[in-house]
Amino acid sequence: MSRALIVAYAFPPTGGAGVQRISKMVKYLPAHGVTPSVLTVSNPSVPVTDASLTRDLPPDLDVIRARTFEPGYGAKKAAWEAAADASPSLRKQAVKTASGFVRQLMYPDVQLLWLPGATAALAKTLVTSPPDVVLISGPPFSPFLLAPLAHARSAVILDYRDEWSVIRKNYEMTGAAIGNLIGDPLEALLLKRAEMVTTATEEFRRDMLERFPFLDPSSVVAIPNGYDRDDFPADLPAPPRDEFVISYVGTVFKLMSPKGLLAAVQKLHEREPELAKLLHVRFIGRIVDSEAALFEGMERYGVERVGYVAHEEAVRSLATSHLVLVVLDDTDGVERMYPAKTFEAMAIGRPTLVLAPADSALAHLVRKHEVGDLLPPRDEEAICAYLAQKLRAWRDGDRGVPASSPVDIETFDRKNTAGRFADVMREAMRRRRDSS
């Protein structure tokens, strides 16, 4: 068995869809000849936690936890809000100035404050029990700075769950101006310390090869996110018969803004109020502050903000839906990404509405695998007409359990994606041996 150390800040009990790329990998790697261990944070400064995700972890998994010097998430959030306040008080102005200054220093991200502890823990591991390969996953991307140290004793893989350049422009609590100056050069420097690179989409892989032409195309491998059959028991509940439920599961932020959908729901209520009364739209997950205003007053139109729930409850919410919603807004940065929940939408077997730009990676995925219906994310008229048609068909039909059967989705099974990660790890080790 080969030995792999996975370095990931986002790891259970931290919650969120991005965590599962690593937790599911760790769950299934042993079946593919790789014994994993994990280096993660002991006191994560994160918006949500989900202890249920720890059930995926092998009982004998070696997890090394190093402390971060970050403040608690509440303090970070308060500082970020002060920095975004257009007309702050004197006290908030002081906080705004200080937090802005600190944010400029914290590049690539504030998780830079985890690096002292992570560096010490990694150095100790490399001396006492060096792994054959070290896989470092981002975001956050500051752990990528550990690549040169890891490369001293082991093969290195950099795993991109998202694009570094997109993250620094669009995610909350990022945006250091220094990133515009040193972002690409720093990323290139770290890529040169890795034997292999993995990306979450093929489109992102191709873009990376264009941006960094020194990369060997065979060293960059696209491994998508996926679904775990263990998360979908046969006795999942059915949707209700007295209302038509649409569910969105995941974080709502700039790149996944549902402004078009919400406008369409409001339009439907104005045009056909009796029909629209049958509609219940649930947003299950965190809504970042910059998107919260979109939801003000939407309760009167049957829109519910549920908040973050444990993963197993989120799966049940998908099962009790007549229509699963996946959203990518029509904005810069979405061209090469898939929302992680897309794959669970495939696996749940319910009809799916995907709102995404027609030329995006997500749209290509939807068409190739017949995931569901595809509409432009800001076409209020088209979305409104679609909702009305769905509601009438359900109202006038037998209101049974809706079904959907996407095609050729086995490649996204977490058991299979773990096997692809194992293959990449073995290739990284081979390249390391050949270069020494």
pLDDT of residue 223: 98
Instruction: Look at residue 353 in the predicted model and tell me its pLDDT.
Output: 98
- In sequence order, which residues have a C-beta less than 8 Å from that of residue 128 and are 6 or more positions away? none
Is 264 contained in some domain?
yes
Same domain, 238 and 142: no
How crowded is the C-beta side of 13, counted as CA atoms within 13 Å?
Answer: 8
Q: How far apart are CA 143 and CA 64, in angstroms?
A: 15
Residue 121's pLDDT is 99
Q: What is the CATH number of the domain that holds 290?
A: 3.40.50.2000
Domain that residue 254 falls in: 229-396
Residues 195 and 277 grouped into a single domain: no
pTM above the 0.85 mark? Answer: yes
The candidate with the shortest Cα–Cα distance to 164, out of 150, 143, 146, 148, is: 143
The three state secondary structure string of the chain is CEEEEEECCCCCCECCCCHHHHHHHHHHHHHHCEEEEEEEECCCCCCCECHHHHHHCCCCCEEEEECCCCCCHHHHHHHHHHHHCCCCCHHHHHHHHHHHHHHHHCCCCHHHHHHHHHHHHHHHHHHHCCCCEEEEEECCCHHHHHHHHHHCCCEEEEEECCCHHHHHHHCCCCCCCHHHHHHHHHHHHHHCCCCEEEECCHHHHHHHHHHCCCCCHHHEEECCCCECHHHCCCCCCCCCCCCEEEEEECCECHHHCCHHHHHHHHHHHHHCHHHHCCEEEEEECCECHHHHHHHCCHHHHCEEECCCCCHHHHHHHHHCCCEEEEECCCCCCCCCCCCCCHHHHHHHCCCEEEECCCCCHHHHHHHHHCCCEEECCCCHHHHHHHHHHHHHHHHHCCCCCCCCCCCCCHHHEHHHHHHHHHHHHHHHHHHHHHHC
Q: Do 424 and 380 share a domain, yes or no?
A: no
Same domain, 243 and 305: yes
Does 401 map to a domain?
A: no
Residues 355 and 236 grouped into a single domain: yes
Is 278 in the same domain as 215? no
Count of structural domains, the chain: 2
Whether residue 342 lies inside any domain: the answer is: yes
Angle between helices 259-271 and 380-396 (to 10 degrees): 60
pLDDT of 385:
99
Residue 95 pLDDT: 45
Cα–Cα dist 71/80, whole Å = 12
Say which amino acid occupies 380. E
Domain membership of residue 177 (yes or no) is yes
Q: Kindly state whether residues 29 and 172 are assigned to the same domain.
A: yes
Residue with tokens 């409850």: 313
Tens digits of per-residue pLDDT, 14-38? 998 889 999 999 999 999 999 999 9
Q: How many CA atoms lie within 13 A of 410 on its CB side?
A: 1
Instruction: Tell me, yes or no, whether 208 and 351 share the same domain.
Output: no
pLDDT of residue 97: 47
How do residues 59-98 score in pLDDT, each as one tens digit?
999 999 999 999 877 665 555 555 555 555 555 454 444 4
Whether residues 28 and 161 fall in one domain: yes
246 and 345 in one domain? yes
- Are the beta carbons of 202 and 220 closer than 8 angstroms? no
- Show pLDDT as tens, one digit a residue, over the chain (436 residues): 999 999 999 999 999 888 999 999 999 999 999 999 999 999 999 999 999 999 999 999 999 999 999 987 766 555 555 555 555 555 545 444 444 545 556 788 899 999 999 999 999 999 999 999 999 999 999 999 999 999 999 999 999 999 998 876 655 445 556 656 677 899 999 999 999 999 999 999 999 999 999 999 999 999 999 999 999 988 889 999 999 999 999 999 999 999 999 999 999 999 999 999 999 999 999 999 999 999 999 999 999 999 999 999 999 999 999 999 999 999 988 999 999 999 999 999 999 999 999 999 999 999 999 999 999 999 999 999 999 999 999 999 999 889 899 999 999 999 999 999 999 999 999 999 999 7
Kindly state whether residues 380 and 337 are assigned to the same domain.
Answer: yes
Judge whether 11 lies within some domain.
yes
The pLDDT score that the predictor gives to residue 75 is 63
**pLDDT value at position 234?**
86
The answer to the question of residue 327 being in a domain is: yes
Given this model, what pLDDT does residue 166 score?
82
Query: Looking at the DSSP assignment, which residues form a beta bridge with residue 7?
Result: 39, 136
Strands 352-355 and 62-66: unpaired
In a domain, 404, yes or no: no
In a domain, 406, yes or no: no
Are residue 247 and residue 333 in the same domain, yes or no? Answer: yes
